Structure 1
Amino acid sequence: MLPFTRDQFLANLVAYNEAIWPAQLSAFALGLLAVALLFWRPQIADRLIAGTLAIMWLWTGVRYHWLHFAEINKAALIFGGLFVAQGAMLAYVGVVSNELRFGLGSGPAASVGIGLVAYAVVLYPLLGIWTGHAYPQMPVFGVTPCPVTIFTFGFFLFAKPPMSRWLLAIPFIWSLIGGSAAFLLGVPQDWLLLVSGVVAVPLVLACRSDINLEGLKS
């Protein structure tokens, strides 16, 4: 049982979207830049992609969870802490240490990654509008937890091994929390979130295992 009603959730989303406008446009532009960097490969491409993901997680943790969602759900204080922690890890591993490498690649992981990124950026808002959640009464890409998590899983499937398993923990936890709540709140565009964690995490770990096995054979 959720500590708030569906109407309270939607009203909170409206207030949040109106308060942060036009940050949504900046988030969308950052998302498109991250996608473009998979093809256009300047020397700092990987750092820019990791930095984009870090910004989205930090923003969502502070601005959405702590400053808005906490008004109707005190658990958002914990959720915000998880998102801030994930943003800090992405910033350290991907930007400071430059230990994240991205590339389109091929195979099942890359195919699922493309599907998740396309869903988060394009299909997510279209499905929201189609099901009656037009702006501002909708979770928006880049600044709300569920599309940020789906988008991140997509990019993790583009990550070249080795990738720290710790980076998978918080997105997976949120895929279970946010995905389950989506059914209770009637937000069908978030239903894929529950699937994304269950599918993406094993694929990322399988890629790590393949690399480890190749290393043992050589």
Structure 2
Amino acid sequence: MLPFTRDQFLANLVSYNEAIWPVQLAAFAIGVLAVALLFWPPRMADRLIASILAVMWLWTGVAYHWLHFTEINKAALIFGASFVVQGAMLAYVGVVRGQLRFGSGSGPAASVGIAFVAYAAVLYPLLGIWTGHAYPEMPVFGVTPCPVTIFTFGFFLLAKPPMSRWLLAIPFIWSLIGGSAAFLLGVPQDWLLLVSGVVAVFLVVAYHREADWKA
């Protein structure tokens, strides 16, 4: 059982969305920029993508979990800390060390990655509206945990070997936590989250292992 009701969860989302407006627009804009950067050859593009993902995780950890979700669930203190750690890891590995490289690519991993990115940025909010969760009573891309996680999995599937497997750990754990809660709360646009972690981890590990064998 969850320590809060569905109505409390939705009311908390409304309060959060109204408090941070118009950050949602900026989040969507940098999400589009991240996708555009996949087709931008310079090395700096990889660092910019990593920084965008890091900002999304840091923002969600602090603004969503710590400053709002803790009002109805004290476990959000731990959730927020994990998101901040993930954001810091992305910043260190991808921005400081420059060890994350992305590309549109081809093959099963890239195809699923593109699908995850498109789902998180476009289909996710549309499905929410279609199922009766119109703004502001909906998780919004780039500033709430579930779409941020799916979006990140999409980019991990588009990452070129080698990539630190540690970057997969926190998103995978959240996919199980957030995905399970989505069924209890009746948030169908988050149902994909529950399987996205398993699919993404399997494909990333398989793709990178194949690359290691060929090296």
Structure 2 residue ranges without an equivalent (≥5): none
3-state SS of 2:117 partner = helix
2:77 match:
77
Which amino acid is 2:79 matched to? F
Which amino acid is 1:171 matched to? P
C-alpha separation between the residues in 2 aligned to 1:43 and 1:157? Answer: 18
1:157 match:
157
C-alpha separation between the residues in 2 aligned to 1:153 and 1:43? Answer: 21
Q: CA deviation at 1:196?
A: 0.6
Which amino acid is 1:54 matched to? A
Pair 1:109 & 2:109 matched: yes
Provide the alpha-carbon RMSD of the alignment: 0.6
Q: CA deviation at 1:214?
A: 1.4
Q: CA deviation at 1:7?
A: 0.1
C-alpha separation between the residues in 1 aligned to 2:213 and 2:30? Answer: 36
2:60 match:
60
3-state SS of 1:194 partner = helix
3-state SS of 2:106 partner = coil
Per-residue CA distance 1:23-70 (angstroms, 9 max, x = gap):
000000000000000112333100000000000000000000000000
C-alpha separation between the residues in 2 aligned to 1:126 and 1:41? Answer: 31
C-alpha separation between the residues in 2 aligned to 1:75 and 1:84? Answer: 14
1:168 match:
168
Pair 1:214 & 2:214 matched: yes
Q: CA deviation at 1:86?
A: 0.2
- 1:62-211 equivalences in 2 (<5 Å): 62-211=62-211
C-alpha separation between the residues in 1 aligned to 2:50 and 2:110? Answer: 17
C-alpha separation between the residues in 2 aligned to 1:29 and 1:171? Answer: 22
1:37 match:
37
Pair 1:6 & 2:28 matched: no
3-state SS of 2:19 partner = helix
C-alpha separation between the residues in 2 aligned to 1:179 and 1:96? Answer: 31
C-alpha separation between the residues in 1 aligned to 2:42 and 2:98? Answer: 14
Per-residue CA distance 1:135-186 (angstroms, 9 max, x = gap):
0000000000000000000000000011000000000000000000000000
Q: CA deviation at 1:90?
A: 0.0
Which amino acid is 2:151 matched to? F
C-alpha separation between the residues in 2 aligned to 1:164 and 1:45? Answer: 19
3-state SS of 1:19 partner = helix
C-alpha separation between the residues in 1 aligned to 2:131 and 2:70? Answer: 26
C-alpha separation between the residues in 2 aligned to 1:107 and 1:41? Answer: 20
Which amino acid is 1:5 matched to? T
